[in-house]
A and B are shown apart, each in its own frame.
Chain A
Amino acid sequence: MRVDAAKASPLAVAPGRRAVARFLANPTTLIGIILCTLVVLSAVLAPLIAPHDPIEQNVVEQLKPPTREFPLGTDYFGRDVLSRILWGGRISLIVSLSAIAGAILVGGAIGMISGYVGGLLDTVVMRVMDVLLSFPSLILGLIVVALLGPDLANLIVAIGLTAIAPFARIARAPVLALKERAFVEAGRALGFSHLRILFVHILPNIVSEVLVMGSLWMATAVRTEASLSFIGLGVKPPTPTWGGMMRDGFENILDAPWLSIFPGIAILLLMLGLNMVGDGLRDAADPKLRTE
């Protein structure tokens, strides 16, 4: 039985470390990580690597197809599409990251407390969340931006609001199960405060589920941001955004299709990467859910 003991030794590693190993062993995840890293790096390094200024107009170079100097062509104002895509990634990432981070904090707290307290509070809070959920996220974002006015902060608030309800649900469900576990009762018997039980004992057990949904919802946030920019409710021009670039390109879609295609591909790659990372996280967090 010595062999068994040796085989069992990976169990001695903390559960977190095994999950990380599982996460990295999955090829889909790896591609996802590469895609996301690519987008993040290009956005962060945009000032250094962008070959041209993303905003300065140069009418002489108007609507050039991809060339050596302009690898992805130029738009109606003669601006380099590649440079604009690199800079535009910043808006997509800032908006989706801040919106989802905010939604996780606010929605997660609402869901956890609602589920832990239970009773009437839980019923009322979750019905309010149901109302929020009943709006398609684009419509909800649209309403909020229309009310607050289009700028970066309002965009983040609008998209964050659309994700609060889903995160409240995601955080609440495991809390309902966890609060019935004996270790929570043991904590109460040991005189721990409700805050301690909630944040020290329950929270670490739901983090993985929430993070998985976080990465998947970030993809949705990227799409919502692009959609709002596309219909002109995003960050104002001339700041480059992928959705805005696609919309601008539509006016010349027949003469200069690269104007819409390349920002579209950028959106696709980022969403694909986020979804792949999310799937990988989910498999790593719970190997039982893994599809055979």
Chain B
Amino acid sequence: MKPLLEVEGLVKHFTVTRGFPRPVTTTIRAVDGVSFAVRRGEAYGLVGESGCGKSTVARAVLRLIEPDAGAVRFDGVDVRRARGEALARLRRRMQIIFQDPYSSLNPRRTIGQALIEPLRVHGIASGRAARDRAAALLDEVGMPASALDRYPHEFSGGQRQRIGIARALAVEPELLIADEPVSALDVSVQAQVLLLLRDLQRRRNLAFVFVSHDLGVVRWFCDRVAVMYLGRIVEEGSVDDVFAAPLHPYARMLRDASPVPDPSGRGALPRIVGEIPSAANPPAGCHFHPRCPEAGDACRAAYPPWRRRGERGAACVLV
């Protein structure tokens, strides 16, 4: 079966020019050749430390940030070449939910306005029908229809996140890009929102690109996962495989560093060596080698090629 979303060799570099009178331009390789594919109805996780480029990938796929190179295909359509009408049609089919529920809703517009506007812009419904649809969307995310005439500041973070989800669902997308959708919420609320997302995924057969730094959440929610480090995917595979027996030393380090429900079940103590290097000046060879306990001369010389192991793969010489 053809994947719903295909990303190939995605690149996004940011340049920062600073200094006077001799400006220095630094290039930050936020995303440096990322490829993955998401099947219809599948939840695909992107994990990594802050600054590894996972949110940039999410935005570049939607072209909220224009990628510099690479290909993004949605259901066979080239997203990067789409213009005007075609782009609007594509965007209807993939939506995004944001990390910060406080800035994701316009403070000056009621919930009803926020939900009805996309319906009207895309000619899905108008007038009375649009209002009914908006109420149905609220119901779908577990909010009462009375919320329609209220303003965002009247709701809690969790409720706002539900409203943001309802707004994304308004245009009936097939793919939802969730950029750290629960990391700004209290733990108890996180669980509710995650249950809602899973429920929606099943009911609407939604595909997800789920960006998170919380391995526990990704483990529970996703089918497959990619571990990113400094703008590149270092390991990919099914959630069960990757978390049970990580191939890449970085994936192992991440796994060992994340809390487990039963501390006695934890094997070796987490090995955290050093800080994540700057994406403006990544180390030569394997980006991870300065922190890697098993790095050898080969790792310092060249970036390791991608190696497959059946359904999974990793960019490491040890695989």
B91 at the A interface (CB under 8 A): yes
Interface centre among A185, A186, A204, A205 (most CB of B within 10 A): A186
Question: Cβ of B121 and Cβ of A182 under 8 Å apart?
Answer: no
9 contacts between A and B (CB under 8 A): A11-B154, A182-B100, A183-B104, A186-B98, A186-B104, A186-B168, A189-B91, A190-B167, A201-B106
B187 at the A interface (CB under 8 A): no
CA distance A201 to B109 in the complex (A): 8
Please name the residue on chain B nearest to A204 by beta carbon. Answer: B108
- Point out residues on A near B: beta carbons under 8 Å: 11-12, 14-15, 181-183, 185-186, 188-192, 196, 200-201, 204-205
B87 at the A interface (CB under 8 A): yes
CA distance A195 to B98 in the complex (A): 23
B302 at the A interface (CB under 8 A): no
Question: Cβ of A191 and Cβ of B87 under 8 Å apart?
Answer: yes
Beta-carbon contacts under 8 Å, B104-120 to A = 104-109, 117-118
Distance in Å: Cβ of B18 to nearest Cβ of chain A: 15
Please name the residue on chain A nearest to B89 by beta carbon. Answer: A191
- Point out residues on B near A: beta carbons under 8 Å: 59, 62, 64, 87-88, 91-92, 94-96, 98-100, 103-109, 117-118, 121-122, 150-151, 153-154, 164, 167-168, 170-171
Question: Cβ of B171 and Cβ of A190 under 8 Å apart?
Answer: yes
Main secondary structure of the interface of A (DSSP, over half): helix
Question: Cβ of A182 and Cβ of B103 under 8 Å apart?
Answer: yes
Partner of B95, one of A189, A192, A196, A205: A189
Partner of B107, one of A15, A190, A200: A15
Question: Cβ of B121 and Cβ of A12 under 8 Å apart?
Answer: no
Distance in Å: Cβ of B300 to nearest Cβ of chain A: 39
Partner of B104, one of A15, A182, A188, A204: A182
CA distance A205 to B94 in the complex (A): 27
A200 contacts across to B, CB distance below 8 A: 117
B88 contacts across to A, CB distance below 8 A: 191
